Amino acid sequence: MKSIRAKLVLWLVVALTAGLILALVGTYILTRRQVGTMFDEELRQVALVVHLREDWTEQKRVRIARPGFFLAVRAYDQSGRLYFETALPSLPPDLPLTYGEGFGRIDTTEGPWRIFTHVTDEGIVQVGQPVGTRDALARDVSSRALVPMLLLIPFLALALGWVFRRGLAPLQDTSRRVSDRDASRLDPLPVENVPTELLPLVQQINALLERLSKSLDADRRFLADAAHELRSPMAALALQAQLAERAASPATRAEAFRELARGIERGRRLIQQLLDFARLEPGVTALPFSPVDLARVARQVVGSGAARAEALGVDLGAEASAPAYVLGSEPELRSLVENVVDNALRYAPRESAVTVAVRNKAGEVEIHVVDAGPGIDPAEREKVFHRFHRVPGDSTAGSGLGLSIVKAIVEHHQGRISLEDAMPGSDGPGLGVRISLPAASRLDLPASDLRVA
């Protein structure tokens, strides 16, 4: 299991170590530069001090009595005749004589040397020092500064671990509180004394708990309403079956069986609507969207409902000759049209018309279904989209799910739905259901449909 605290400590220790290494490199470079400047000045000062002729001897080689003297010195004239040179420290045998004033760097068999040459009328003084001496001193100074820092890293790691443990304690407390929640306890997490960095997460968890609570409440209401709605048709089916068993004449038995068949059809329709509504619940895997010709779907639904409309004495027709493509799920869109048409047929009086019109309109596809039924009072039009809601005084058979399924499908397809009075000239008050869905672009259409789109 991965630990944020362990990762933070590890990365901070790594970063600290890398920082110390960079500090060491920087310290070494700066120290090397300062040591070089200091020794260069010492080379110059020594050269200025020993250039006087009275300081020279005929011994050729002299020893410097001062301990810790790291500079080698020699004096000579313009012809190269040597006056003297130091024995300890001594210059490399292959270090050439120089005759120009100033500093220089010369590679020898003993390594690179830094020299300063001072030219006077009396003679020339050359003072030199191995570059390695400077590098060793710079390394020594840098390492003395680094060692205490390296020894400090383990203690810093322990301190950081303790600090992170204390600092992440609110996160552990929040995790414990979340683990205490279940379907029976969805109360929000406390936000008092929550660190600023953790507060947005706690707020989002509370928002999620609230949505989950509402979803569970909705599911409980849905199950209760579904059980209530199924109880009545099941009881009616049982009653019709008993009447058919007890029928004294063939005519009575036939009528009981017809009622039983109608009851079975109502129960089948209710179960199908419940299944359709369950498929539209959030979190249920939906079918991928594809171009769907709503005009074709409308014609098919009207064709399949023609027999029922004829039995009801209703003239069911479609005005959907031109293709009208939308991006969507064809089963859902078919269910949408079927539910709107079913709602219209249930309320349309005999010898009236129900018209299903599909047309393209300014980047949208509009479905307009009109019936000549009693209509819906404007105050009730928003309520009929709620599950199992029935208009007061409505005696027609139905579950109150049809329009709620329609609205859920419309919202799933980013569309709009509205209820309005029927078009002028229709019989009775009537009701118009107007649905607008985004039209599919030509890029979405299959090549075979571009000719008619």
Q: According to the model, what pLDDT value does residue 286 have?
A: 60
* Fold annotation for 199-279: Helix Hairpins (1.10.287)
Which residue do the tokens 């009328």 mark? 121
Mean pLDDT of 188-210: 78
Residue 78 neighbours by CB distance under 10 Å = 11
What residue type is assigned to position 119 of the chain?
Answer: V
Q: According to the model, what pLDDT value does residue 295 have?
A: 92
Bridge partners, residue 63, by sequence: 88
Q: How confident is the model at residue 116 (pLDDT cuts 50, 70, 90)?
A: very high
Q: According to the model, what pLDDT value does residue 388 have?
A: 64
Question: Who's near 270: CB < 8 A, 6+ residues apart?
Answer: 229, 230, 233, 399, 401
* Highest mean pLDDT of the ranges 190-199, 325-334, 379-388, 398-407: 325-334
Calpha distance 236→67 (Å, rounded): 120
Written as six digits, the tokens of 29 are 């470079």
Look up the pTM and report it: 0.49
Residue 354 neighbours by CB distance under 10 Å = 26
Q: According to the model, what pLDDT value does residue 1 have?
A: 46
Span 339-349, pLDDT tens digits: 889 888 888 88
Question: Out of 3.30.43, 1.20.120, 3.30.310, 3.30.450, which CATH number does the structure's domain 4-157 have?
Answer: 3.30.450
Q: According to the model, what pLDDT value does residue 234 have?
A: 73
What residue type is assigned to position 15 of the chain?
Answer: A
- What does the domain layout of the chain look like in residue ranges? 4-157, 199-279, 290-449
User: 250-279 in b/e burial notation, b at 16+ Cβ within 10 A?
Assistant: eeeeeebeebbeebeebbebbeebbebbeb
Question: Is domain 290-449 in CATH 3.30.565.10, yes or no?
Answer: yes
Q: Closest Cα partner for 116 from 71, 55, 82? A: 71
Residue 358 neighbours by CB distance under 10 Å = 25
